[in-house]
Structure 1
Amino acid sequence: MEASNIEPFLDGKTIFITGATGFLAKILVEKILQIQPNVKKLFLLVRAADTKSAKKRFTNEVMQTQLFSVLREKIGANNLNSLIEEKIFPVAGDISFEDFGIENSEMKDEMFREIDIIINSAATTRFDERYDIAMNINVLGALNVLKFAKRCENVNIITHVSTAYVSGEGEGVIPEKSFSLGETLNKDTKLDIDVERKVVEDKLKEIEAQNLTTKEVTMAMRDLGIQRATMHGWPNTYSFTKAMGEMLLGHYKEDLQLAIIRPTIITSTYKEPFPGWIEGVKTMDSFILAYGKGVLKFSFGDPNSYIDAIPGDMVVNAILAAIIAHIGNQYNSSQGFIYHISSSRRNPLKSSDIRLFLFNYFTKNPWINRDGKIIKVDMPTLFSSMDSFRKYISTYYWPLLKILELANLLSCRSFDKTYKDTKRKIDMAIRLAELYKPYLLFHGSFDDANTEGLRMAMKECNMDDVLNFDPSCIKWEDYFMETHLLGAVKHIF
């Protein structure tokens, strides 16, 4: 695919990206430089004290990653450095603040004049994040992006990265449908975002009066987020706050073009810039990590349910396709502005398949521990419900815990650490199971009719090769055995 096919759309454009040091944003920056070096500028929002610190953080956390090795080799290290110097402008700021707290007024004025495209990829993705933090980033952050966009003179489109799981624990085919302001998944409640903000403020005041430790404050605010999410029908703080962010954008966007990208479970890169690149422990990878190291001996998932996974580079391609289609009038946006970037409709992946892939991979490629010993894995025990998991815990672990507890009462101090470690592992296992249950026991599939429209638009523009986000081309066994698990071991273990 020649870059010239992209030129009518991104040539000379100035793009502003939030969450610039995140996993998706890094792939996005690399992809833009790869296919359209004639982009005018990339303003990248980086949480930092000042411009110098923002540049340093961008260099250390983005440019020095292996992700840019292909581009560096392709155009040469000096040319890449020159390209970065000319095109990329890290901006010190925080999405939680109005105007992102940008103190450099000259840069801010320049951004207002020049920005054509805004991509909001900033988010906290922790399922049980502190409610105040999730509210500031995922909800108010989205509103701050919109307010900033309205002060820009030439913005063509805001592309907001959300999650398909704003749908909650749905069943059947889940449509690419937007939320109305105040809508909930629990029809017995009504959501008022201002009330939710007041709940956060009141809880923080209450906590402050109790003189709690930092850890206790964190746990209290995490529990509050889960409570409020559950009350309104969402399974966790992440999906709840991302839904509220979508509501604000959709309600207040006025005549601004908006595209909301809803990826499912994001995995390592499929092909670009090379297969298997991943960074940080994602949803699925926490289980892979624990299983490969011999810590986790069970897995969740109804054998008949699907795990909806999508590679990170396909998500990035979809983001760019949405931008190109909307600003180039290649797609009838009246059909919708919500895009599920998913695989469950076109190329479903069974929970039982992943279990088999894990066993086969780590049997053939066992992890070596710090003592140089090979960790042998067994086929993980499958639990298809929380009830079956709790029964397993009560049968095999609680008796051990009770014995250790009795040993403590009898002043057998040598058992104290074993007791605490065992209890911590049990508590963590139950908490993780509750958090991941909505994703691993998910019985819905995501409609992608709007996304298919984008794919057709890219095909008509002869850009379907360079912007491939069609999951039907993925052979899951090959991808997991030769790409994702290999990448997880290399980049995470």
Structure 2
Amino acid sequence: MSGTTPTIPEFYAGQTLLITGCTGFMGKVLLEKLLRSCPDIECIYVLIRPKRGQSVSERLDTLLKSKLFDKLRNDNVDINSKVKPIIGDIIEKKLGISEEDITTLSQSVSVVFHSAATVKFDEELRLSLQMNVIGVKSLIELCHKFTKLKALIHVSTAYANCDKKFIDERVYDPPLNPNRLIDAAEWMDNEAMNSLTGKLLGDRPNTYTYTKAMAEYLLSQESKNLPVAIVRPSIVGSSWKEPFPGWVDNYNGPTGLLVAIGKGVLRMMIGDFHGTADILPVDIATNLMITVGWHTAVNKPDKMLVFNNTTGQINQLKWGQVERWSHEYLMKNPMELARIPNPRFTKYSLWKDINVIFDHLLPAYVMDFYLWVVGRKPVFVKIQDKIWKAVKSLEFFTSNEWKFSNENIFMLANKMSPQDKETFDFDVKKVVWSKYMENYCLGAKQFVLKEDPEQLPRARRALQKLQRMQFLMNAVVFMVIWRLIINRVPIAKSLWNLLLGWASFIFTKLPKLARST
């Protein structure tokens, strides 16, 4: 690295940034990291829309009160003077930003991080198109007005091209030109678009991956002369170490699976036990985004670079390990009001369906019947329906595997100073997956379910009680079945008598012999 090349904090000093999607999971972590590790940033504008009767200022205030920002508050960082809200909405024309604010942004913003998107896999095509494609088109048009722009970092997904088994760090041609679909959406009603969705998706599993691929192509075609880079994170999970291990605040991706496993309401799903679980800690993703912003501005690549931010080819985690460790750590640190965790992946749909009937639906109906008897509202069948709807959308990713090129990731690491490598660490080889999974389970319990860690002893006692009850029920069922067999099969009766004889010897005569010696 050249001696004149600024470090990452030195580059961001005095810069004005714009972040879209800062109220989302990754956007919050990005904002916190920038404020903590690049303290001399001039200003960070955050695009926020009013929601549920809250103004953008109120939403920003609520966001900054999150536990995620505790470290900044403890260090007496003046967050409010650095972060300024901009009223806007990515589905609106010009992102819903006023002309006055557009003028302000165009004269001051030098780095843009675009992470706003709908991440719902089952979103209707029209809304997914509006947020993930048309929103990008509007952002490109806006960035062409930014006189000081040094870097535009677009957050895509590693699965934008999941119709391929090997995914290189480049933009692929989509099955349909985005502008043709945008034009069609202007005159086509929802019913017509929904009826065409399946045919348009082709080998892609959902509208999310489909529109993300379109957005990448749109960037490559319409961001000429703009300093653009694309970051493709894989399955984003809780934080690895920053600002503290295990932080997560939503049910998306693997978090929803862990919560459902921990509550005992998800016990079997389709998945490849030996397949790669390409889970990526959120702080690694945001560290890479910040570094890519620095590299794009300082080193000025002669083409738009794509960064596959994945773990599978660098530090592999398998779904079988997720199954084993989630069971181990959720038994060690159980969730409240839960069945006994017992997660299992299987490749066989018939076996899964049988287990769903006997291990999911029947217990749910029994629990709802009990609630009805005691005068409470039945909820368990409804919960099961929601869980299986979410699980079904994930099965494509738990039962398939991809290989990703990571050459640009390694190139970027080689351009960083030793101090920057430490501060903005995105080296996934350092992640110890067993420890990460333990922190992830604890984080889901504490930050998503809002369960008090001090109540863990009570939750452990409740789980031990459930284990004893399950053992007793299994023993009763075994005894009943065995007695029925004994009454009909002579050899079974002989085996039963032999077993009783051995039990009598072990529990009565053996202790007496031990005392006599």
> What TM-score comes out, normalization by structure 1 length?
0.81
Does 1:176 pair with 2:169? yes
| Distance in 2 (alpha carbons) for counterparts of 1:38 and 1:366 | 42
Of 301, 306, 310 in structure 1, the residue corresponding to residue 276 of structure 2 is: 306
State whether residues 16 and 45 of structure 2, in contact with CA within 8 Å, keep that contact through their aligned partners in structure 1: yes
State whether residues 267 and 311 of structure 1, in contact with CA within 8 Å, keep that contact through their aligned partners in structure 2: yes
| Distance in 2 (alpha carbons) for counterparts of 1:134 and 1:327 | 30
Secondary structure of the corresponding residue to residue 464 of structure 1: helix
Structure 1 residues 56 and 438, CA gap change in structure 2 (3 angstroms) = same
Over aligned residue pairs, what C-alpha RMSD do you find?
3.1
Does 1:91 pair with 2:86? yes
Map 1:14-413 → 2, pairs under 5 A: 14-48=16-50, 53-60=55-62, 62-74=63-75, 76=76, 80-81=77-78, 83-85=79-81, 87-103=82-98, 105-171=99-165, 173-180=166-173, 183-184=174-175, 190-191=176-177, 193-195=179-181, 198=184, 201-204=187-190, 227-231=198-202, 233-329=203-299, 332=301, 334=303, 337-369=305-337, 375-386=338-349, 388-390=351-353, 392-393=355-356
Structure 1 residues 294 and 225, CA gap change in structure 2 (3 angstroms) = farther
Q: Which amino acid aligns with 2:155?
A: V
Structure 1 residues 130 and 65, CA gap change in structure 2 (3 angstroms) = same
State whether residues 131 and 225 of structure 1, in contact with CA within 8 Å, keep that contact through their aligned partners in structure 2: no
Larger CA deviation: 33-42 vs 63-72? 33-42
Q: Which amino acid aligns with 1:43?
A: Y
Q: Which structure exhibits the higher relative contact order, with contacts defined as CA atoms closer than 8 Å and separated by 6 or more residues?
A: 1
Identity %: 25
Please state how far the C-alpha of 1:7 moved relative to its aligned partner.
4.1
Does 1:476 pair with 2:478? no
State whether residues 266 and 360 of structure 2, in contact with CA within 8 Å, keep that contact through their aligned partners in structure 1: no
Please state how far the C-alpha of 1:226 moved relative to its aligned partner.
5.3
Please state how far the C-alpha of 1:401 moved relative to its aligned partner.
11
| Distance in 1 (alpha carbons) for counterparts of 2:113 and 2:141 | 14
Structure 1 residues 32 and 386, CA gap change in structure 2 (3 angstroms) = same
Please state how far the C-alpha of 1:278 moved relative to its aligned partner.
0.7
State whether residues 135 and 241 of structure 1, in contact with CA within 8 Å, keep that contact through their aligned partners in structure 2: yes
Of 425, 439, 442 in structure 1, the residue corresponding to residue 397 of structure 2 is: 439
State whether residues 288 and 424 of structure 2, in contact with CA within 8 Å, keep that contact through their aligned partners in structure 1: yes
* Max Rg structure: 2
Q: Which amino acid aligns with 1:354?
A: V
Structure 1 residues 428 and 305, CA gap change in structure 2 (3 angstroms) = same
Secondary structure of the corresponding residue to residue 25 of structure 1: helix
| Distance in 2 (alpha carbons) for counterparts of 1:437 and 1:20 | 28
Q: Which amino acid aligns with 1:384?
A: K
> What TM-score comes out, normalization by structure 2 length?
0.77
Please state how far the C-alpha of 1:338 moved relative to its aligned partner.
0.7
State whether residues 46 and 84 of structure 2, in contact with CA within 8 Å, keep that contact through their aligned partners in structure 1: yes
Deviations 1:135-163 (A, max 9, x none): 11101001111010001111112100011
Structure 1 residues 36 and 367, CA gap change in structure 2 (3 angstroms) = closer
| Distance in 2 (alpha carbons) for counterparts of 1:282 and 1:348 | 21
Q: Which amino acid aligns with 1:30?
A: E
Please state how far the C-alpha of 1:98 moved relative to its aligned partner.
2.8
Please state how far the C-alpha of 1:385 moved relative to its aligned partner.
4.5
| Distance in 2 (alpha carbons) for counterparts of 1:456 and 1:68 | 31
User: Match for residue 489 of structure 1?
Assistant: 445
Q: Which amino acid aligns with 1:490?
A: Q
Structure 1 residues 437 and 229, CA gap change in structure 2 (3 angstroms) = farther
Please state how far the C-alpha of 1:126 moved relative to its aligned partner.
0.6
Structure 1 unaligned residues grouped into runs of 5+: 185-189, 208-220, 370-374, 403-412
Secondary structure of the corresponding residue to residue 310 of structure 1: strand
Does 1:463 pair with 2:420? yes
Deviations 1:8-27 (A, max 9, x none): 31111111111121111111
State whether residues 277 and 316 of structure 2, in contact with CA within 8 Å, keep that contact through their aligned partners in structure 1: yes
Structure 2 unaligned residues grouped into runs of 5+: 1-5, 366-371, 450-517
Q: Which amino acid aligns with 1:339?
A: F
| Distance in 2 (alpha carbons) for counterparts of 1:200 and 1:290 | 40
| Distance in 2 (alpha carbons) for counterparts of 1:238 and 1:94 | 19
| Distance in 2 (alpha carbons) for counterparts of 1:429 and 1:197 | 36
Q: Which amino acid aligns with 1:89?
A: K
Secondary structure of the corresponding residue to residue 314 of structure 2: coil
Structure 1 residues 200 and 131, CA gap change in structure 2 (3 angstroms) = farther
Secondary structure of the corresponding residue to residue 443 of structure 1: coil
Q: Which amino acid aligns with 1:195?
A: L
Deviations 1:367-399 (A, max 9, x none): 221xxxxx3525323222445434555787899
State whether residues 109 and 148 of structure 2, in contact with CA within 8 Å, keep that contact through their aligned partners in structure 1: yes
